[in-house]
Amino acid sequence: MYNLAIYLYLLAVKFVGLFSKKVKLMRKGHKEVFDILRTQIDKDSQYLWFHAASLGEFEQGRPLMERIRKAHPHYKILLTFFSPSGYEVRKNYEGADIICYLPFDTPRNVRRFLDLARPSMAFFIKYEFWQNYMKGLQRRGIPTYSVSSIFRPNQVFFRWYGGQYYKVLTRITHFFVQNEESLRLLATRGVTNATVVGDTRFDRVLEINQAAKQLPLVERFKGDCNKVFVAGSSWQPDEELFIDYFNRHPEMKLIIAPHVVDENHLAWIEGRLNRPSMRYTHALGTSADLSRVDCLIIDCYGLLSSIYRYGEVSYVGGGFGVGIHNVLEAAVYGIPVLFGPNNQRFREARALLAEGGGFEIHDATDFAATMDRLFSDDAFLAQSGERAGRYVKDNAGAADAILKAIAF
């Protein structure tokens, strides 16, 4: 049944690839995998194989990859992705020796992949559980680790009909899970080779903090203003809240890094603003007088994790839609984090609320009350920011714990 589902999925991908540029990229990448392995694998070297579904999982695996590379430089790293959104962004990542797509989980692909790659160990990040790959690894005696994994009761492994699916869990050498609930759920299936180490994303955001880019243009924009509000990964419902508040408060400055960066959406933002604004790319490389600008619109990608450092208060978007984005990227700088109500599935957001470093916003009245207090009470602002930053620091260390637990 599982193999049939994989073959049907493969057929669907081929069909969709006729119309979708993204899927077409994936199909092209899949065709190239075995040639890449055949020509780039050094038969005299030992490889550690890391697999990430997409960009988010890559960021979770990155702290471990980089620690291994430093502590055990004799190993080479093979990094695979399933989705184009991960591969196309990180295909030139210098921390891995070979980067390619992971072929579909068919028995034939698994045999060819493992014959060519010959990994000494395999690391699957978070949710990745491919039955044929894990069966193949187990049969060859290759240690296989699940890193930064998290389990919930509604996953197929723990349902009454999940008998044939949970068997894949028995093929993992060891699970390094994020929380106690995951440990308990695994135990209900008789899986006890697991350790709670936390989430490697905390390690990653601390690394990003330490390597944050200096952005002279943003520094010029901030000037000596001590009421800068940074909104990251925002959507229109988020923007309606904070832009209206910003328009009424001339003492503050606003930096917006919207989730959607296209001309229509940028024009909508500019149309809602009643105060002077400028797009980042329009100011870049110019001597524009940013002292006359009250709102800086980040109309490009890759800067947000460094931009949060310039704010006194942050906002992470998505909480009025399918769910919030990464609150840790903001919290790591020791500033309060505001977000919308759809955050129940996001453990870090719930923890920030409990710690007093995060604030849940429901509507414009709620937003205004929270902002008024933060910007009028310096002690409360400092305390909230300190609690946000401490939460990140206190939960770091997962990558080091995994590194110590594995016998290289």
Is the pLDDT at 311 greater than 60, yes or no? yes
For the stretch 333-365, pLDDT in tens is: 999 999 999 998 898 999 999 999 999 999 999
Residues 254 and 388 in one domain: yes
| Domain span at 267 | 213-394
In this prediction, residue 322 has a pLDDT band, given cuts at 50, 70 and 90, of confident
Number of Cα atoms under 13 Å in the Cβ half of residue 165? 13
Domain match, 22 and 169 both: yes
Pairing state between β 174-177 and 194-196: parallel
Q: Of 264, 257, 390, whose CA–CA distance to 326 is shortest? A: 257
- How high is the mean pLDDT of the chain? 92
Per this entry, what is the length of the chain? 408
Residues 188 and 294 in one domain: no
- Cα of first residue to Cα of last residue in the chain, in angstroms, is 36
123 pLDDT above the threshold of 60: yes
Q: Please give the structure tokens belonging to residue 66.
A: 């980089």
Q: Exposure string (b/e) for 116-125, b if CB count within 10 Å is 16 or more? A: bbbbebbbbb
The answer on pLDDT for 15 being more than 60 is: no
Contact assessment for residue 332 and residue 304, using Cβ atoms and an 8 Å cutoff: no
Q: What is the pLDDT of residue 288?
A: 84
132 and 155 belong to one structural domain? yes
Structure tokens at 110: 């698994």
User: What token pair was written down for 60?
Assistant: 């979770």
Q: Which of 361, 280, 347, 283 is nearest to 319 (CA)?
A: 361
User: Residue 25: which CATH number?
Assistant: 3.40.50.11720
Residue whose tokens read 């400092």? 382
- 44 burial via Cβ count (<10 Å: 0-12, 13-18, 19+): exposed
Report pTM.
Answer: 0.86
**Are residues 75 and 118 part of one domain?**
yes
The number of distinct structural domains making up the chain is 2
CB-based contact 225:249 (threshold 8 Å): no
* 230: CATH: 3.40.50.2000
Asked whether residue 33 falls in the same domain as residue 16, the answer is yes
Once rounded to an integer, what is the mean pLDDT over residues 265-279? 96
Residues 306 and 223 grouped into a single domain = yes
Residues 384 and 253 in one domain: yes
**At CB < 8 A and 24+ separation, what contacts does 357-364 make?**
357/331, 357/384, 357/385, 357/386, 357/387, 357/388, 357/389, 357/390, 357/391, 358/327, 358/331, 358/388, 359/384, 360/319, 361/241, 361/319, 363/241, 364/240, 364/241, 364/244, 364/245
Pair 236, 132 in one domain: no
Per-residue confidence (pLDDT) for residue 30, from 0 to 100: 78
Residue 34's contacts (CB-CB under 8 Å, 6 or more residues apart) are 103, 112, 113, 116
Distance separating alpha carbons of residues 191 and 105, to the nearest angstrom: 23
- Is-contact 23 87, C-beta < 8 A? no
Quick one: 223 and 135 in the same domain? no
Contact 50, 77 (CB under 8 A): yes
pLDDT digits (tens, 9 = 90+) for 20-60: 676 677 777 778 999 999 999 999 999 999 999 988 899 99
What share of the chain has pLDDT > 90, as a percent? 76
Claim to verify: residue 9 and residue 84 sit in the same structural domain: yes
Q: 249 and 372: one domain?
A: yes
